[in-house]
Amino acid sequence: MPVSTSPLLRVEGLKTHYFGFGGSRVVKAVDGVSFTVEAGETFGLVGESGCGKTTTCHSIVRLLSPSAKIVGGRIELEGKNLLDLSAREMREVRGRRIASILQDPMASLDPLFSIGNQVAEPAYYHGLLRGRPLHQRVRELLAAVRIPSPEKRLKEFPHQMSGGMRQRIVGAIAQAGDPCLIIADEPTTNLDVTIQLQYLNLLKELQQATNVGLIFVTHNLGIVAKMCDTVAVMYAGKIVEMQSVRGLFYEPRHPYTKALLDSIPKLGTKEPLYAVPGQPPDLSALPPGCSFHPRCAQAMERCRTEEPPEVRDNSGRTTRCWLTQPQEAVHA
């Protein structure tokens, strides 16, 4: 494999808007999101419900609902801009370069096809393997995701599996086309806690074995701490803070990140659980200035009128907040 200098995935200024009522109502679900994912890296995407995490993921594979449109930005996978590809070329990318793990393991498998058939489908469809080698590959994939006695299991059907097993099988399907990027959209939300831990360990192992880039969408900060290398916190369609996972937990810089960290339940205290005040904003009618200011404890006059730009400091951390601007920028 040739060593490329460009990152595996580079998303730059991505804007995905939903157009409702004949274009009269525009919902800026993703509004200028930029990040990069390296091979073998786990990139976490966190934020409240409806802040644009899932829309970002769908934009990357270009499978948006008809009312949504990517209105700006670039999505480069291995140096190629995915937004320039034709529908046919894009289909080659899906499954072969990018794969996905979805939220609900109960619904992710077709009830009418045996496990073996479903795991084989991406590789078969993209013409990678046929016949005996394909069978062999499916068995290896099932073994890799710790399905006991894969030879027997691949003849069985989804309803004969537990939730954890099904989600592992979805993991095997994601691996089948040999992708370089896997998008995991809250893959453990519907699993119970012990199975979650097993599953996350398994994902990490698989990632180390195959060196894929992983985009991990979640709203569980505990999972972020366990899984991710870099974390981006999204609020109202924008990334408000992005830095290494260690930095995020030890030195959060954006007031929203701090508020999120404060609202993790802690064992052994009798204090009531902290909640970020207010509601997530209506994405079609964002407040002027910084969209977080109505809920921000440290909001200043400036926050109400001017939107803070995304600023990257020397160590590569980015924030969108007037509080963290370099001095000269604040006074400029």
Partner 1 sequence: MAITFDDVRSVTTNAERARRLFGYMRQLPMIPLFVLSLLGFVAIFADVIAPHSELDPVKPTSAQCQALYGAPDCPYLEDVPPFWSEGGSLTTPLGTDFLGRDVLSRLMYGARISLIVALMGTVVAGTIGTLLGVIAGYMGRWWDQVIMRVTDAWLTLPSLVFAILLLSVRGPGMWNVVLVLALVFWSRYSRAVRGEVLALRERDFVKLAEINGISKTRIIFRHLIPNVMNTVMVLFSLQVGVAVIIEASLSFLGVGVPPPEPSWGLMLAQERDAMMEGKWWLAVFPGICISLLVLSANMLGDWLRVRLDPQLRNR
Contact positions vs partner 1 (CB under 8 A): 61, 63, 66, 90-96, 98-100, 102-104, 107-114, 121-122, 125-126, 157, 159, 170, 173, 176-177, 183
Minimum distance from residue 115 beta carbon to partner 1 (Å): 11
Minimum distance from residue 203 beta carbon to partner 1 (Å): 16
Radius of gyration of the chain measured on its C-alpha atoms: 21
Of 110 and 306, CB closest to partner 1:
110
Minimum distance from residue 314 beta carbon to partner 1 (Å): 38
First to last CA, the chain: 48
DSSP code string of 67-136? TEEEEEEEEEETTEEGGGS-HHHHHHHHHHTEEEE-S-TTTSS-TTS-HHHHHHHHHHHTTS--HHHHHH
Of 183 and 296, CB closest to partner 1:
183
Minimum distance from residue 259 beta carbon to partner 1 (Å): 32
Contact in structure between 242 and 234 (CB atoms under 8 Å) = no
Of 191 and 290, CB closest to partner 1:
191
Of 90 and 225, CB closest to partner 1:
90
Of 157 and 274, CB closest to partner 1:
157
Minimum distance from residue 86 beta carbon to partner 1 (Å): 13
Minimum distance from residue 41 beta carbon to partner 1 (Å): 20
Of 155 and 312, CB closest to partner 1:
155
Of 55 and 100, CB closest to partner 1:
100
- Tokens at residue 231, please? 């974390």
Minimum distance from residue 316 beta carbon to partner 1 (Å): 30
**Residue count (the chain):** 332
Q: What secondary structure letter does DSSP report for 22?
A: G
| Interatomic CA distance for residues 332 and 73, integer angstroms | 28
Minimum distance from residue 269 beta carbon to partner 1 (Å): 38
Helix (H, G, I), strand (E, B) or coil at 210: helix
Of 164 and 281, CB closest to partner 1:
164
Contact in structure between 41 and 74 (CB atoms under 8 Å) = no
Strands 181-185, 230-235: pairing is unpaired
Beta strand spans in the chain (E): 9-20, 25-37, 42-46, 68-77, 80-81, 98-101, 181-185, 213-218, 230-235, 238-244, 311-312, 318-319
- Residue from 46, 39, 24, 12 nearest 256 by CA: 46
Helix (H, G, I), strand (E, B) or coil at 245: helix
